[in-house]
Amino acid sequence: MRKLSLFMGLLVVVAMFIGACAAPVAPAAPATEAAEAATEAAAPAGEPFKIALIMPSTTTDYSWSQSIYDGLKAVQTEMGGEGALEIAVSENMFQVADAGNAIRDYATNGYDLVIAHGAQYGNPLFEVAKDFPETSFAWGTTTNTGADQGLANVFAYEPAAQEGGYLNGVAAALLSDKNVIGVVGPVEAGDAKLYINGFVAGVKATEPDTAVNVTYTGQFGDTALAAEAANTQIEAGADVLTGSAQQVVGAIQTAKDKGVYWFGSQSDQAPLATDIVVTSVVYDWTKVIKDMIESHNAGTLGGKVFTMTLNDGGQTMVYNDQSTVPAEKMAEIKTAVEAAAKGIQDGSIVPAK
């Protein structure tokens, strides 16, 4: 009995520790309040538009998942808050079967638009979309809306990551003094591969003699290995770095410690290291999301493909003017990047996929 009470006592301590840590900030938990407020506000002002988002990572990953969440939040603010747009999020859905359950459940619960934010979610999405013809679904990264399976309620989106990669490549080539640039990639596939291919093309088009070394870590979430990969790149002579996936948070931190410039992708990564992040190619989801909402309300539940290019505003270049890059260099970079962007937009430059 003595041991049992010891055990209980310990649990209480742990619980209090947890409670104490969590309590002070609890009122700031935004998502939950948002959800509550939305249900309260729903009745008088008419039903809000309801969007569910299923993501493989988290809303604060500084990359793929965060970029769309930020976009949703921006659209929500623009539409007038939770009363007009209700957002539900399922994070860390790395198991496809769980994502399938989530997609079906959101559809069952009357969400107007269910976004499956990962290429791996396609199979369950199509399966559910067949059963809920009145609900809109969205799936990325793909151009497949399931039209060949008779589906008319699936949107598809695929960022042309090579375009943004190309611009970052142009900028990086101009900035590298040693003519060695390092890339920290996750797995040679999908969005990361497109970005890196575009980046290499951009570098080579600007400074043909500059070497671009690419390291893959084999994973998306290995922060420590990504950090060490960045270190390796720097020790091998790179003075400018870039990368893709949520694990680059570790690589950016290494670049910051060593004073090496970084080019961000997917989300604006400047807040991580103001001094050294020069530019970020950012996915701007607001247009895509607004288009999907408008289409849905107009009765078109799917079938559209959004490519997210520089042309349609799906990707934008964010310059960080607080970096330590000298102003005249930054101006040179801006000029070159804008010229390249124009070239991509009018079709005279086609970054390889």
By CB under 8 A, what part of segment 187-226 binds other proteins?
187-190, 193, 213-219, 221-225
Site string for other proteins, 22-51 (x = CB under 8 A): xx-xxx-x-xxxxx----------------
Site string for other proteins, 153-182 (x = CB under 8 A): -----x-----------------------x
Count residues near other proteins (CB under 8 A): 100
Of the candidates 48, 49, 50, 62, which one interacts with other proteins according to CB under 8 A? 62
Which of these ranges, 246-254, 278-286, 289-297, 313-321, lies near other proteins under the rule CB under 8 A?
246-254
Which of these ranges, 116-124, 171-179, 316-324, 335-343, lies near other proteins under the rule CB under 8 A?
116-124
Which of these ranges, 3-11, 75-83, 284-292, 307-315, lies near other proteins under the rule CB under 8 A?
3-11
11 is an interface residue for other proteins by CB under 8 A: yes
Of the candidates 37, 74, 79, 232, which one interacts with other proteins according to CB under 8 A? 232
190-206 vs 161-175: helix crossing angle, rounded to 10: 40
Helix/strand/coil (H/E/C) assignment for every residue in the chain: CHHHHHHHHHHHHHHHHHHHHHHHHHHHCHHHHHHHHHHHHHHHHCCCEEEEEECCCCCCCCCHHHHHHHHHHHHHHHHCCCCCEEEEEECCCCCHHHHHHHHHHHHHCCCCEEEECCHHHHHHHHHHHHHCCCCEEEEECCCCCCHHHCCCCEEEECCCHHHHHHHHHHHHHHHCCCCEEEEEECCCCHHHHHHHHHHHHHHHHHCCCCEEEEEECCCCCCHHHHHHHHHHHHHCCCCEEEECCCCHHHHHHHHHHHCCEEEEEECCCHHHCCCCEEEEEEECCHHHHHHHHHHHHCCCCCCCEECCCCCCCCEEEEECCCCCCCHHHHHHHHHHHHHHHHHHHHCCCCCCC
* CB of 271 vs other proteins, minimal distance in Å: 8
- Which of positions 292-351 make contact with other proteins (CB under 8 A)? none
- How far from 60 is each of 68, 98, 123, 173, 229, CA to CA, in Å? 11, 21, 26, 30, 22
Which of these ranges, 76-84, 140-148, 200-208, 316-324, lies near other proteins under the rule CB under 8 A?
140-148
Q: Which residue has the tokens 């290494």?
A: 254
* CB of 64 vs other proteins, minimal distance in Å: 14
Of the candidates 74, 96, 152, 336, which one interacts with other proteins according to CB under 8 A? 96
* CB of 227 vs other proteins, minimal distance in Å: 5
- Specify the residue, 84 or 333, whose C-beta has the smaller distance to other proteins: 84
- Specify the residue, 68 or 333, whose C-beta has the smaller distance to other proteins: 68
Which of these ranges, 60-68, 196-204, 282-290, 326-334, lies near other proteins under the rule CB under 8 A?
60-68
102 is an interface residue for other proteins by CB under 8 A: yes
* CB of 334 vs other proteins, minimal distance in Å: 26
Of the candidates 42, 79, 104, 343, which one interacts with other proteins according to CB under 8 A? 104
